[in-house]
Amino acid sequence: MAATAIANAKHMMLMMLSPSISLPVSSRSASLSAKRLLYNQYPTRSQTFVRSACTSITTDTSKKKKKQKGLAKEKRRTRSLRDGDIHILKEEDDDSSSSSTVMMQQSHIPVMLGEVLDVFSSNLKPLSSFVDCTLGAAGHASAVSFFLLVVAVLCVFMNMIFYTTVELSCITENGCACGCCCSQIIQSHPELKLFIGMDVDPLALRMARSRINAAISHSHPHPNFQALTFVKNFRHIRSLLTQVDYISSGVDGILMDLGMSSMQVNNPARGFSVLANGPLDMRMDPQASLKAEDILNSWPDSEVGRILRDYGEERNWRLLQNKIVQARLQGGLHSTGELVDVIRSATPGTKGGRQGWIKTATRVFQALRIAVNDELKTLEDSLHACFDCLAPGGRLAVISFHSLEDRIVKQAFLKIIGEEGRNSIRKVEGGEDEKELWIRQTIQGSNGTILTKRPITPSEKEEGFNRRSRSAKLRVIQKL
């Protein structure tokens, strides 16, 4: 009966709030008016019903506004046209006894793999040399998807047919589902002679080497094909390429994936994880001297606040700065767990609950990671260096994961092509080259063309199976 009464109260209040009168549904006047109407029917409980009705209407209005805001934001996004890179993997073997133990390693799910292949496979220029500046665990080079393995094994044991929205490029002899970007580029471009992979993390590079070798063994590369890997930061790309004898007029393709590898995030010893306790390290290069612990315990208070404000875009940075200073007086901060405790104590309990402090912690960890590795300055310098290393007609593709990175990429591309850049709109359908449909709006400059006036974002289906791809943005520039 109470639910019916509340529904009636809500209906009466909505009837009273005429569209021509701009009164908030939770205003005192609306509550008093509804209370008078309901008092005769529910004299002892009318106030409770009105309060519940107000809450219900306010919630409905809030949800409607959020939905409208989300739709407006969605319209501004430039979604990928690949529709999730769908190649269906169908597991039809109902005999669960035929499947035995499957060994799976931690791996990195490559983001926007199909879009990256389009950028370099659809280019009319022959691709004879390619550089992956952020090889990581060879996500885009070998693209061994841990996600596919987990779900496939579960489906086998549950005796069910399995469909997945992931591009399946090949299936190895061991039944491991792979999306081998490197193999596809080699197979699509038999003229490819040189593949160079760079990463500052030696552990990730060791894993990448074995996966690249496995990918090459299943393909038919050029007879003189070489795959070289270097433990180097991409800021050194210019000096590194001068050491390679083959490089003379520049490379034909360069990829920069600025995202964190799942392998790094999920390892508590690296200090990147918010939810797993570990040392306050956050170094991408284990040989580097500066750690997050040094910044939190030794750097000036104002500098710590600036890092939180500028790199983390945290509005509550001043309170967090004061909390960190207080923690120094009690022995300092030496683990990610201790830092999370400080963040939780500085986050109001009414601000989104658990998600509230997790979002704050994510921004703080991002800020410290950027400061420890000097990521933004390195990125800006490297973008110009990478473009200089391109051969005429070569392409540079960059995948960023937060607004600071994307802003730097956007501004650097505009600087590279020159201020006289002019917009050139290209329609998705009816283009000159059907393979280049991903190019929608370009900006033409004096020495280059930005092929993505607005960044390409993942398809909805990719976001569905890989949540870490939601913030990804792909920008591409081509040298004239």
Task: Tell me the pLDDT tens digit for each residue of 347-376.
Answer: 876 555 556 899 999 999 999 999 999 999
pLDDT above 70 for 106: no
- Are 440 and 399 in a shared domain? yes
- Of 374, 401, 420, which residue is a domain's last? 374
Q: What is the mean pLDDT of residues 56-81?
A: 63
Neighbours of 4 (CB within 10 A): 9
Counting residues of the chain whose pLDDT is more than 70, the rounded percentage is: 60
Report yes or no on 11 lying in a domain: no
Residue-level pLDDT at 349: 63
- Are 254 and 202 in a shared domain? yes
Angle at 132 between CA 310 and CA 471, to 5 degrees: 40
Parent domain of 448: 113-151+176-262+376-479
177, 163 in Cβ contact below 8 A?
no
- Are 225 and 281 in a shared domain? no
Q: What is the mean pLDDT of residues 13-21?
A: 48
What average pLDDT is seen over the chain? 75
pLDDT bucket at 86, cuts 50 / 70 / 90 = very low
Q: What is the mean pLDDT of residues 432-457?
A: 88
Total domains in the chain come to: 2
- Of 331, 346, 374, which residue is a domain's last? 374
Q: Which residues are within 8 A (CB) of 93 and not within 5 positions of it... i.e. 6 or more apart?
A: 99, 156
Can you list the pairs that 51-56 forms with residues at least 24 positions away whose Cβ atoms lie under 8 Å? 52/6, 52/9, 53/6, 53/9, 53/10, 53/12, 53/13, 54/13, 54/25, 54/26, 54/30, 55/26, 56/6, 56/10
Sign (positive or negative) of CA dihedral 179, 180, 183, 185: positive
pLDDT bucket at 160, cuts 50 / 70 / 90 = very low
Report yes or no on 404 lying in a domain: yes
Report yes or no on 21 lying in a domain: no
Highest mean pLDDT out of 131-135, 138-142, 179-183, 369-373:
369-373
- Are 279 and 421 in a shared domain? no
Interstrand relation of 78-79 and 194-199 (parallel, antiparallel or unpaired): unpaired
pLDDT above 90 for 378: yes
Report yes or no on 65 lying in a domain: no
- Are 408 and 472 in a shared domain? yes
Q: What is the mean pLDDT of residues 239-267?
A: 84
Counting residues of the chain whose pLDDT is more than 90, the rounded percentage is: 41
- Are 195 and 273 in a shared domain? no
Report yes or no on 305 lying in a domain: yes
- Of 325, 350, 374, which residue is a domain's last? 374
Highest mean pLDDT out of 46-60, 92-106, 227-241, 403-417:
403-417
Report yes or no on 29 lying in a domain: no
> The domain that contains 355 carries what CATH number?
1.10.150.170
Report yes or no on 452 lying in a domain: yes
> Which residues partner with 196 through β-bridges?
131, 228
Q: What is the pTM of this model?
A: 0.72
Highest mean pLDDT out of 242-246, 326-330, 345-349:
326-330
pLDDT above 70 for 405: yes
130, burial (CB in 10 Å: exposed 0-12, middle 13-18, buried 19+): buried
Interstrand relation of 170-171 and 177-178 (parallel, antiparallel or unpaired): antiparallel
- Are 446 and 334 in a shared domain? no
Tokens of 194: 């040189």
- Are 370 and 288 in a shared domain? yes
- Are 140 and 130 in a shared domain? yes
pLDDT above 50 for 87: no
Report yes or no on 361 lying in a domain: yes
Query: DSSP letters of 22-37?
Result: ---TT-HHHHHHHHHH
pLDDT above 60 for 18: no
Cα of 466 vs its chain's centroid, Å = 9
- Are 134 and 257 in a shared domain? yes
> The domain that contains 443 carries what CATH number?
3.40.50.150
Q: What is the mean pLDDT of residues 201-214?
A: 78
- Are 248 and 307 in a shared domain? no
- Are 132 and 144 in a shared domain? yes
Taking the C-alpha atoms of residue 17 and residue 290, their distance in angstroms, rounded to an integer, is 61
Q: What is the mean pLDDT of residues 33-56?
A: 58
